[in-house]
Amino acid sequence: MKKIGWLLLCLFLAGCGRTAQDVRKEFNPYLGQHYDSVVKDLGPPTSCFGLSTGDKVCEWDRSYTSYDRGTGGTVTKRYQFVINKDGTVTEWSWRGPISPLGLIWSHEKISSQDKPN
C-alpha cells in the first residue's frame, strides 16, 4: 500500500511543474504573427536591439517571488523574440525554471530552434 501512495504522490507532483513542452505550446503560436500580438499579450518589452540584418531582438524580463515547498526566492524568466523587417516573429527563446518531474527545478533555455524531445 505504501508503494501505491508514493506512486500516486509522484504522479500528482509530475503534473505540477512547468515543462519544456508547456513553454513550446505557449510560444510557438507567436511564430509568423506580428510583433503587435506579442506586445498585446506580454506588454511592452524590457528592451529591443537592432541587428545588422535589419531584424531586431526584443526581450521581456519577468521576475516574481516564489515560495514553494518551504523555500523562497526570486524567479526570473526572460523571453526573446526575433522580429524581421516586416514586423513578423521569426524566432523565440525562453529562459526560466523548468520542472519536468514536479520536484526537481532547473533553469533552462528553450528555443523555437530546438528540436522537441
Within a domain: 117: no
95 part of a folded domain: yes
For residue 71, list its beta bridge partners: 68
Q: Tell whether 21 is covered by a domain.
A: yes
The CA distance from 27 to 57, in Å, is 15
Residue 62 lies in a domain: yes
Q: Which domain holds residue 65?
A: 2-111
Flag whether 29 is in a domain: yes
Q: How many domains does the chain have?
A: 1
Residue 31 in any domain: the answer is yes
Task: Flag whether 116 is in a domain.
Answer: no
pLDDT tens-place values along the chain, 117 residues long: 444 444 344 444 444 457 888 889 999 999 999 999 999 999 999 999 999 999 999 999 988 776 666 666 777 788 999 999 999 999 999 888 766 554 445 667 788 888 765
pTM for the whole structure: 0.71
